[in-house]
Structure 1
Amino acid sequence: MFECPNCAHNLKFDIKAQQMKCDACESLFDPYVIEMDRYAENSEYFETNIFTCPQCGGQIISEDTEIATFCLFCGSATILTEHLSQEKRPDYIIPFQKTKEDCIKAYKKMMKKAFFVPKEFKDEKFIDGFKGVYIPYWTYNFHAKEKMCLKGTLTKQERDRVLTEKYNIFADVDAEFKGDYYDASASFYDEISYALAPYDLSKSKKFTTGFLSGYYANCAEVDEFIYLSDSEELAKKEISQKITQDNAFSRYELYDKDKIEINFVSRAEKVLFPVWLMSYRNKDRVAYAAVNGQTGKIVADFPVDTKKFLLSSLLLALPIFALLNFIVVLTKAEVVALGLFWLFLSLMMYALELYDIYEKESMYTDKGIFRQTDSLKTIKNRLKGAGDFLPGALFLRIFGFFFRMNWIYKMIFIIGFIWCGIVHYRFLDITIWPFIIVLDICGLCSVGGQLMKFKQTKNYLAVILSTVALIISSIVLLLNPIQVLGYHCATGLSLFALAVNFIFIIKDYNGLAMRKLFRFNSEGGRDFE
């Protein structure tokens, strides 16, 4: 703890003043001066308390003993084990710029748009659970200074002929690339860290322990070399683009301009970034809300209240059904085929949901977790923004999944959509239903294939009901009975299977929003619980 030189009470970093402030006498002090008084030597290491969660193994640096009863990362109310440790000093730190009040205000603003979020997420006691924590990041700087030779051509038009001249183009390259960063914490998801970006590194300051007073810091478990290749690839791309756009080169048609070899001298620095973090645990899953402590940008995992969503959907569906009942007149076969088509759409949405869950829980895109896996491929595409964290993502998934399909599925979707629009003219009802049946078979295969990926047993009820609905509807369409009872039963069964599929979609969306709880080992790696 830092003691006030005037009254010996606790000093904490005050965000508004950007200085150390005494709780009692409200005196302000420079964080660097306070540390000089506390540490006589400018050591490469500093002594601090490390708190370890027995539930998940996550580690937090803090001098505040209140944290000993709650884990920031898994949301467990448990007694954390404490020990003194010598931690290597970060190079820089971005102090908090946004207060807890700013953080809560941003969260409540987001909650106004979250209509289907469970009521627990809007509880004042829950919202007050935001904690200020510094997350360690590796920042990479690259410098290239070398002689370069590129091969290129210059084409000239002379009267009735075209001349192509070949050149060796020599240049002295003196380039610098800096400011690329990746989180160095194994307990902080890369997905969230990317969504919280950007941070302004120009506002970073030389590290001093005074900035940590009153806040927490996460330990850096990820080695600096894990993300080096990714950052170097980005640096090469940026510098190569600058070189080829230079006036000295732009007039030439360069050979292999995408494969320019550049030799870098690299340097990695550890910087602490400010984050307001809140966790919510439900059994073996945990949801996070995180706010960028510099810019105020918010990212959150929001599950959906199933009852609220289904009730709202029903209230919306009734007037739409009544309106369509007056506008569109369909034959018995068309109604059955239409039910099968919507069943296909629900199956495809469910398959995409399962794909997302498998991809997220396999965690192969988070190099902080798989840093000991030699076969891990370079991550080339980062997640952008926080779309998958918002409740609105459920609707984006329903209406926007078309854009994620390959061109074959897109053509199937377009053809089916056109049919839905013109089916009441009745000139397609003879040939369209076999095509719809094929679509449903494809949907069933897609869902079944995704379910088989999971080691743990998944519920096949949606597949079974959809299969039964497909078989009965196919029989009715093939036999074409005179009685309407068969058509009503087939349509009703398809709609029932459709409703069950949507219940599973919502249920698994909640599983996607709330992350699988991991167990951190002593070296910072993770295992599933």
Structure 2
Amino acid sequence: MNTVQYKCPNCGAELTFDPEHQNFSCEYCDSTYTEAEMQQLYQNMEQQADQQADASAETLESETDDKAFENETRLYTCQNCGAQIIAEAETSATFCYYCHTPVVLAGRLTGEYKPAYVLPFAVTREAAVEKFHSWCKKRWFLPRSFTSEKQLEKMSGVYVPFWLTNCDAKTQVDALGKKERSWRDGDYQVTETKEFAVKRLAKIPYRGVPADGSQKIEDALMNAIEPFSYDKMKAFSMKYLSGFMAQKYDVPYDQILPRIHKRIDEHAVKTVEKSISGYSSHVVTSHNVQMENIQHDYALLPVWFMHYQYHGKNYDFAMNGQTGTQAGTPPLSWGKALLFSGVLAAAITGLAVLIGGLMFR
């Protein structure tokens, strides 16, 4: 079940966001709606919801953004794995994209959990499944159930919570540079080595450095499907979640900041180090990176996600919902691997017998 549902005004069926055409469509009556039309429809729905919830409440136009977000969203918690899913206020139940068990209503979300931005999906479900099949073809020993229709039904379009950081990295790199030259002097090979103290200073601007704010999803998995392009980023609106799932962040920014600093530290040093030239070799002896003018935003970024359990172990597959970049650790079918080994061994044995027979003729 989708976490957010909007009804078609023509037939009453569910409207979903179409990543391919960047609009909203109804699969039953083939109606389509532009972003502007959907915005108007969404505003009408919000006003009706406010009137039903509290006849004395102010109209939607007079509400603050945070208050509107609280009114239109609900938080669901998975009792099995603890994942927290954002849902529309009218949604009564859904399932956990991570472990596929039902979730229960946990309450409202406060305005502090309202994202500033959302990056809409650009990869459709059909394209995601096709890319997944191509990814699997390169891996010979996957369990058959990993690519079954039943398993693919569990592939979910999920808006993953990310913290995006802007800053200037004031970077100092100290290195030991060496210049070597060799020549022949009679019977001797002479090598002269000169050492130089090298220092480089730079201020490097960083914009939109991402780090996911979810404890359930492995950081390395999200890093592997980067980068995201922010040129299609939109101001957050619940309408973009239609047909998809979303997760509430459960790692606050102050806990994310050390991870961001480490990423920027490593990248800044490598960037500055590239400017060291004119030496036979060099070794970085020390460095210092200070993040200045730090700003951050909370955004939802699109990911096609699939969780798989095999022989008591968990395996996760992720695909960038904008670019289609894929990552994951696939399960290994020992049955297929042993069968292949047996066939290969038999082929080698047969070939050896054939060669041996030819040699003794």
Describe how 1:251-262 pairs up with structure 2 within 5 A: 258-260=286-288, 262=290
Aligned to 2:339: 311
> In structure 1, which of residues 256, 272, 295 is the aligned counterpart of residue 300 of structure 2?
272
Q: Structure 1 residue 13: deviation in Å?
A: 1.8
After superposition, the C-alpha distances for 1:160-199 in whole angstroms (9 at most, x for unaligned) are xxxx999999x9x764212321111111122321222222
* Aligned 8 A contact 1:50 1:84 in 2: yes
CA deviation map 1:431-472 (0-9, x unaligned): xxxxxxxxxxxxxxxxxxxxxxxxxxxxxxxxxxxxxxxxxx
> Given the superposition, is the C-alpha separation of residues 176 and 69 from structure 1 closer, same or farther in structure 2, using an over 3 Å criterion?
closer
Q: What's the TM-score once normalised by structure 1's chain length?
A: 0.50
Count matched residues: 313
2:146 is paired with a residue whose SS is helix
Contact 1:7 1:25 in 2 (8 A): no
1:81 maps to what in 2? Answer: 104
- In structure 1, the gaps of 5 or more residues are 156-163, 329-529
Distance 1:67-1:16 versus aligned 2 partners, 3 A rule:
farther
Q: Classify 1:2/1:266 alpha carbon distance in 2 versus 1 (closer, same or farther; 3 Å).
A: same
Contact 1:75 1:280 in 2 (8 A): no
Give the counterpart of 1:140 among 165, 179, 202: 165
TM-score, structure 2 normalization: 0.71
Q: Which letter maps to 1:290?
A: A
**In structure 2, which of residues 241, 247, 258 is the aligned counterpart of residue 218 of structure 1?**
247
State the distance in 2 between where 1:186 and 1:278 align.
16
Q: Tell me what 2:205 maps to.
A: 176
TM-aligned CA distance change 1:187 to 1:250, over 3 Å: same
Q: Which has the higher strand share?
A: 2
Which of 87, 90, 101 pairs up with 2:126?
101
Q: 1-side partners of 2:136 and 2:283: how far apart?
A: 54
Where do 5+ consecutive residues of structure 2 fail to align?
A: 47-59, 180-194, 357-361
Q: Is the 8 A contact 1:142 1:235 kept in 2?
A: no
- Aligned-residue Cα RMSD (Å) equals 4.0
Alignment of 1:14 onto 2:18: yes
Q: Give the equivalent residue in structure 2 for 1:229.
A: 258
Structure 2: how far apart are the matches of 1:318 and 1:109? 30
Q: Give the conservation status (yes or no) of the 8 Å contact 1:74–1:286.
A: no
> Which residue of 2 is the match for residue 56 of structure 1?
81
For the Cα contact (< 8 Å) 1:53–1:59, is it kept in 2?
yes
In structure 2, do the counterparts of structure 1 residues 12 and 69 end up closer, same or farther at CA, with 3 Å as the change threshold? closer
**Are 1:119 and 2:144 counterparts?**
yes
Which residue of structure 1 aligns with residue 189 of structure 2? none
The structure that is helix-richer by fraction is 1
Determine the C-alpha separation between the residues in 1 that align with 2:346 and 2:326. Answer: 36
Partner SS for 1:179: strand
Q: 1:82 and 1:192, CA in 2 relative to 1: closer, same or farther beyond 3 A?
A: same
Q: 1:33 to 1:238 in 2, by over 3 A?
A: farther
Aligned-pair CA distance for 1:268: 1.8
Percent of aligned pairs with the same amino acid = 28
After TM superposition, give the deviation of residue 265 of structure 1 in Å: 1.9
| CA distance, structure 2, for counterparts of residue 261 and residue 137 of structure 1 | 23
* C-alpha deviation, 1:16, in angstroms: 2.4
* 2:344 aligned counterpart, secondary structure: helix
Q: Helix, strand or coil: the match of 2:20?
A: coil
| Cα offsets for 1:206-236 (capped at 9, x unmatched) | 2111101121101100111223123224434
Query: What is aligned with 1:44?
Result: 66
Matches within 5 A, 1:53-452: 53-63=78-88, 68=93, 70-76=95-101, 79-87=102-110, 88-143=113-168, 175-236=204-265, 238-239=267-268, 258-260=286-288, 262=290, 264-282=292-310, 284-324=312-352
Tell me the distance in 2 between the aligned counterparts of 1:279 and 1:327: 48
Q: Secondary structure at the match of 1:62?
A: strand
Partners in 1 of 2:136 and 2:198 — Cα distance? 62
Give the direction of change, closer, same or farther, for the CA distance of 1:295–1:144 in structure 2 (3 Å limit): closer
